A and B are shown apart, each in its own frame.
Chain A
Amino acid sequence: MEHVLLIAAGDFKARVARYVLTALAIGVGVALLVALVAVTDATRDYVERTLYKVYPADIMLYSDSINIPMYLVEELRNNAAVETAEGIILISGATEGRVVSVVGIPLRDVNYFAVDLKEGRLPASGGEAVVEESLGVKPGDILVVKVYSGASGVERTLKVKVVGVMRSFLKGFVGAFRLNLVVVPLDWLQGSIDAGPFVNTVLITVKDKAQVQPLYLALKETYRDAQVYTQQSLLDTVTKVFTALNAVFSVISGAALTAAVITTFAVMSITVRERLREFGLLKAMGISSREILLSVVVEVALIAAVAGVAGVVTGFLGANVVKDVLLRMGINFDVPIAFRPHYAALGMAASLAVALIGAVSPMYKVARLRPLEVMQLWR
């Protein structure tokens, strides 16, 4: 087989410029593919993890009005399947033209929500609040928030003293997810809006994940007025969004890879036509069509390997560069992009597939060579 490599290496050197260009075309497609997959994966991961922080619960019970009695929360805690049950109030409001989410949390359970304090402290008594950094206020500021949800359904004005600022859960990287949280003690909020001993949201964690589904069904049956979500159903929504995103990205990288297939086809067709005379000579010497074909396959595989490695590396680094550029442009896309082994596998497979699909018809021509048909060409 040494002579096959000798032929492959010789031709490769002779046409190195065009083969490098072919590898470049394939590499661009592979890089795009890897970059888009890496960005999608990273973003999805980040959103999923953050979602669990925002709703640290396996099941969430939510009602449009504040009508879930606290004793029901107590009752849920006694349920054998339930690990924890936390009743909170989650309402929206506005301050200085901005939409905020006001959250009432029992003071003793503030830590349950893994608040990531940036400065200041957690609220210790009524009227104190921890707010999300996205609101741009400092500890000591007074915040006036109008809320619309209450037992009476009328507008109320809350005046809170900011005692702490917390990091944003989603770091605000997607505008729509900006929550602008204002976290206050639950009993103070209940008093301020005349809600009485009621909440509108119950966050439940279970002892065993296998109990999520039965408990979810039981809750749906029991609280017909409330909406019941599981963490999984929220994740499913996220997954649906990312599946759509993936489809769009697939079309983009698919177009680049198709262009690479066409480039490979054109280059290999021209090359094979140029080399027909040489192939005829090799055949007259006694080199078989199979060996000539093999030498072409070796070259195509080499092109694919170079393109694959370069594509995977630049795709991954490129994703990070794009992230940095976005960050520098002020777009808060601060998502860690991790390298995963399957990106390399995906990139190499895509590269090999593109090269082989592009080269298959020119290679078929080589395999069919009869020495004389070829010799006729240079009479």
Chain B
Amino acid sequence: MAVRLHNVSKIYGDGAARTVALDYVSLEVSPGEVVALMGPSGSGKTTMLNIIAALDRPTSGEVYVMGVDVTKLPESKLEKFRLKNVGYLFQSYNLVSYLTAEQNVALPLMALGVKKELALLRARVLLELVGLEGAARLYPHQMSGGMQQRTALARALAANPPILVLDEPTSNIDLDNASVVLGLIHVVNRLTKTTVFMATHDPDVARVATRVVYMRAGRVYDAVEPPRREFKADMERAAAVYEKLRHVDELIGL
């Protein structure tokens, strides 16, 4: 199992302000699955993603990520764990404003101890993967929202995490960029067997999913397996870039 939630509850506040965001949720996800979390606003999607990404702790229950019960890890160990295992993409505001695109992407690698030059080298190949090879030296404010989100996706992929957690990755960007982001999610999943969790309101986005999970009032309902629509993506180009990445990774020893 890539991720296993067992009787996970998350309760915010108490008394009149008490909100049950997750209500005894259990879920098992195998490596390589692309899980689309759908459901109305306030149904608990973000809460669930935060808990899977080990950014938040459940009120009760067990959360296994790559075989490790993250509820038992101290905060200091969680930081390193996230760095190696989870790539996170927020709805917006994903980039550090005073760093260039390539620096943003290189940052998690450098935090893993990769030398700056090598980290930047890998960052530039990742930017090529997301089609931004020309934007490496731009600052976030010099990029469109779509470009920013693609840069953020490259950053989420920086340390080659086995799990990607994406909270409404396309809701704030235009259709063209949204389709590029979805294509990337698709090819990354296909080429690297990365497990993907993705919250979305958009039924169209669910096209890249292998599994759709509906949420309502903190509970999950597995949908009937959706027909996997072959996504039109340039697999060849992506495969070529991944070949480059493999060379860089040999240098880095990642």
Contacts and interface: CB of A to CB of B under 8 A. Distances in A.
A99 interface: no
A277 B93 contact: yes
B79 A286 contact: yes
Q: Chain B: interface residue count, which band?
A: 20 to 34
A289 B98 CA distance: 19
Given A2-B115, A291-B111, A372-B50, A284 B99 contact: no
A290 B111 CA distance: 12
Interface residues of A, number: 26
Contact of A285 (B76, B83, B97, B116): B83
B55 A375 contact: yes
Given A3-B107, A6-B103, A288 B79 contact: yes
A283 to B, nearest CB: 7
A285 B80 CA distance: 10
Contact of B90 (A6, A14, A284): A284
Nearest to A287: B111
B33 to A, nearest CB: 22
Contacts of B50: 372, 375
A9 B80 CA distance: 23
Given A285-B108, A286-B80, A7 B55 contact: no
Given A7-B96, A278-B97, A284 B103 contact: no
A284 B88 contact: yes
A284 B83 CA distance: 8
Interface in A246-288: 277-278, 281-288
Interface of A: 2-3, 6-7, 10-11, 13-14, 277-278, 281-291, 370-372, 375, 378
Interface of B: 50, 53, 55-56, 75-76, 79-80, 82-84, 86, 88, 90, 93-99, 103, 107-108, 110-111, 115-116, 155, 159
Given A286-B159, A371-B56, A372-B55, 15 more contacts: A2-B115, A6-B116, A7-B107, A10-B98, A14-B98, A281-B93, A282-B96, A283-B55, A283-B79, A284-B88, A285-B83, A285-B108, A286-B80, A287-B83, A378-B93
